[in-house]
Structure 1
C-alpha cells in the first residue's frame, strides 16, 4: 500500500443477520485519519476491497461492499471507477453541504457509487442531496427518544435504507428492526440472548467436549479421535479435508488416527474447530468468521506475549464461547475444564493471556485507544490482515469438504 495505514473492519448485517458489507475503519500510525487514503491510485483501493471485504458465502467467494468514511478532502479525490460497484461512500457529518459539495456528490452517484450519510442528524441543507443518497446511518446511542422519532418521520417520504449504528445487543437489534431499520452495525451478533436454564444440545455438547480436550495440555491423539468419532459428520468432513488437494498428501488417509499422525496434533486441533464451527452450530456466519479471525490473530502475535501459539489460538475461540452456546462464560466452564489463568484471561482479561486477548479484540474492533502498548500496532495490523486471509481460505476448504 502507498502508506502505512492501520485498518479494521466492522460488519454490517441485514435483518436476517447476513453480512452485507463492512465498514473499513482506518488511521495512520500517529492516530490521524490518513488524508490521502486512495492517493490517486487504483492499487490501494483494490487492496482494501479484496483483502478486507472478501468472504466465503454459500460455497463461493464474494466481495462485499466497503463502507468508507469520506471527509471534504477525500470527496474531491479521483476514485477508481471499478470500485463503484463495491463501495459505499459515507459522507461524514462535518462535510458542509454547499453547492460545490452537492454537485460532487451528484457526480459520484452518477458514476455508480452508493452514497450514505454518516451519523445523521437532520439538517435542511440535506435536501440538496437527499435524492442521491441511498443509506442513512443513525448512531442509535446518540439519537434517542423524540429526536429519533422526529428524524424517522422526516425521512419517511424518501426512498432510503436506514442503518442503525452501535447496536450492541440482541434486544436493541429487535427494537430497531421494528422501527424500520434494515441494516445494522455493531457487535450484537456476538452477544445473543442468554436463555435461562438452557441445556446444551448434542452437537453443542460434542463441541464443548472437543474444546475441553483441546485445552488440555496433556491431550492425546487417541482422546481427540474418540471425541471426533462421536459426531460422524465431523469425522467425515475432517477426513475429506485431510485428503483434499490443500494438503497434497502422498497417500489417502482413512481414519482420524492416521490424520493426527500425518498432520500433527496442533494442526488437527485447528481443523477440528474450523469444521465444527462451519455450519454445525446455529449461529450467524459472521460470528464464526470473527472468532476464526480472532483465534488466528492471537496465534500470529502470541510470541510477543510469551504465549504458546496453540494456546493463543484456542483462547481466541473460547473468548466467544458464550455467543456460540448462548450461555454465560461462567456456566460454560462447568462443561469445559480450563486452567485458572485461562479463566482469568477470558473473564477479566488478566495476565499475559488477558493482555493478548484484549489487544486483539480492541484492535479488530477499532478501539485502538485501549491497546496495552505491549506490541507495536503495525504488528497487530499485519496479524489482522493475515488472519482475515487465513479464515477465508480455511472456511473455503472446510465448506467444500
Structure 2
C-alpha cells in the first residue's frame, strides 16, 4: 500500500495571527508535490487522513485549506467536512466554464468558503466573484502592484486576498499596503535582527528557567526561586498543583514543595511551555506552536531509533529551534545566556551532529520546506509511517495546550 503524508503551511493575517493552514498531499516525506494526478492527490488526502482525524489535528483547530479539482467537487468530497472547518481551494482549472460556475455556486449556497487559486488577473474570472471568499495570488508570478484594478472590482464583495510565496517580512509590510489580507510563505521564519539589541531581564530569566529544567538532578529549590520572581508563573504553578491534587487534601507551604509535588515530568512540561509562551508575542505565536510540535516530534522519534543516544536532548532542542525568530536575536547571542550541553548548541547553531540531523529532519518535515528528507529517513532506518503518526500526535498535543 502506498503511503500518504501531509505537509502544511500557515496562512496568517496582517497581525501575524494564524487563520489556517494549507494542507498539502505528499506521497513520501520529501516535501515536494509528487508526480500524481491532482484528483488522486485530493482523494488520498481526504480518505487516508480525514477519517483518522488527522486533518483537524494538523491544522490545530484552524481552517484547513484543501485543494480540490473540478472532478473532486463533482464527486462532492468537500461535503465530508464541516463547512466551518475548511476552505475549498480550486485547482486545475484553465477557464471559468459554465459547469465550474454552477459547481462553485453550489458550494457557496451550502455555506462553504471557496478560494480561487492559480489566478492570473484576467477579467474572465470575475463571473465567479459573487461566489468566492478568497483569491490567492502568487507574487512570484504576478507583481503585487498589478492588483489595484482588482481591488475596485471586489470591494463590494468582501473577497479576501491571499499573497502566496511571501519570503520576507519586508514583503509582508509592502503587500499589506497594497491591499492583501492574508499571507502564506516562509516570511515568519525570518528573524528580524536588530543591531545592538540585548536580551531583556525577564526573557533572560525565562531562558534560564527552561534550561534549568533539563539539569540532572533537578534542583527544585532553584526552579522554585526563579518561578517566585514572576507572579504569573507562581499562580500558574499553584493552579497546576491544584488540578493534579483533585480529590486529595494538599497544603502547599512553599513553591519548592509545589514544584516537588508535581514531580519532574509534569514540572518540566509546565515550565517549558509557560516560559515559551511568555517569550512569544502575537507576531511569533506561529513559531511558538511550531517549536512545541518540533520538540514533541523530536522527542518521540528519538525514543526508539538511531537517535536514542541523544533522546534526552531532543525535546529542549526542538523547543528552542525557533527562539532566534521569537527573540529577534542571533542564536549565538541567545545561547550565551543558557548553560546548554554542547550537542544542543551545535544542533541549534549549525544543525550539525546527530541531534542536528534529527532537528533538520523534523523541522523540514513539519514546514514542508526541505531537501534530502527521504535520504535521512533511509540512512537512519526510520519508519515513514511512524513519523507521520507522531507528527499528528504532536499536533494534537500542541492543540490541547491551548496556547
What are the within-5 Å matches in structure 2 for residues 289-328 of structure 1? Answer: 289-303=289-303, 304=305, 305-328=307-330
Higher relative contact order (CA 8 A, sep 6+): 2
Alpha-carbon distance in 1 for matches of 2:12, 2:250 = 41
Find the partner of 1:350 among 349, 352, 372: 352
Aligned mate of 2:400, from 393, 396, 399 = 393
Task: Give unpaired runs (5+ residues) of structure 1.
Answer: 55-62, 397-401
1:58 alignment partner in structure 2: none
**Do the aligned partners of 1:278 and 1:395 also contact (CA within 8 Å) in 2?**
no
How far apart are residue 49 of structure 1 and its match?
5.0
Mapped contact 1:71–1:95 kept (Cα < 8 A) = no
Q: Map of 1:90-101 to 2, 5 A cutoff?
A: 90-94=89-93, 96-101=95-100
Task: Establish whether residue 241 from structure 1 lines up as the match of residue 243 from structure 2.
Answer: no
Which piece of structure 1 moves more, 207-216 or 169-178? 207-216
Question: For the structure 1 residues 26 and 103, does the alpha-carbon distance in structure 2 shift closer, same or farther, using more than 3 Å as the test?
Answer: same
Matches within 5 A, 1:136-285: 136-144=135-143, 148-158=144-154, 159=157, 160-217=159-216, 219-245=218-244, 248=246, 250-252=248-250, 254=252, 255-279=254-278, 281-283=280-282, 284-285=284-285
Q: Distance in 1 between matches of 2:43 and 2:80?
A: 17
The answer to whether the 8 A contact 1:277-1:288 is kept is: yes
Which residue in 2 is equivalent to 1:341?
343
1:267–1:135 CA distance, 2 compared to 1 (3 A)? same
Relative to the length of structure 1, the TM-score reads 0.85
2:63 aligned partner: 65
Name the structure 2 match of 1:363.
365
Write 1 or 2 for the structure with the bigger share of helix: 2
Structure-2 change in CA distance of 1:265 and 1:256 (3 Å): farther
- TM superposition shift of 1:364: 0.8
Distance 1:368 1:191, change over 3 A: closer
Counterparts of 2:388 and 2:233, CA distance in 1? 33
8 Å Cα contact 1:238-1:275 kept in structure 2: no
Q: 1:219 to 1:183 in 2, by over 3 A?
A: same
In structure 2, the partner of 1:51 is 57
Does the residue aligned with 1:20 lie in a helix, a strand or coil? strand
Q: In 2, Cα distance between the equivalents of 1:216 and 1:137?
A: 48
Please give the per-residue CA displacement for 1:265-324, whole angstroms capped at 9, x wherever unaligned.
Answer: 243122101112335643433232222111111111112222444421100111111122
The question of whether the paired residues in 2 share the 8 Å contact of 1:40 and 1:77 is answered with no
Q: How large is the Cα RMSD of the aligned pairs?
A: 2.9
Pairs aligned (count): 382
- In 2 relative to 1, CA 242–311 (structure 1 residues): closer, same or farther, beyond 3 Å? farther
Mapped pair 1:130 → 2:102:
no
Q: Which runs of 5+ in 2 are unaligned?
A: none
TM-score, normalised on structure 2?
0.84
What is the CA–CA distance in structure 2 between the aligned matches of 1:150 and 1:209, rounded to whole Å? 49
Distance (Å, rounded) in 2 between the aligned partners of 1:75 and 1:22:
20
**1:175-215 deviations in whole A, cap 9, x for unaligned?**
11111111112343343422221222232021121133235
- C-alpha spacing 1:161/1:260, structure 2 compared with 1 (3 Å): same
Give SS of 2:11's match. strand
Deviation by residue 1:23-75 (Cα, 9 ceiling, x = unmatched): 1222344945635247689x936825532334xxxxxxxx4322111123322
- 8 Å Cα contact 1:69/1:89 also seen in 2: yes
1:124 Cα deviation (Å)?
A: 4.4
Bigger mean CA offset, 175-184 vs 28-37: 28-37
Distance 1:153 1:307, change over 3 A: farther
State the match for 1:60 in structure 2: none
| Cα pair distance change 1:311/1:340, threshold 3 Å | closer
Separation in structure 2 between the aligned mates of residue 8 and residue 238 of structure 1, nearest angstrom: 35
Structure 2 Cα separation of the partners of residues 8 and 167 of structure 1:
18
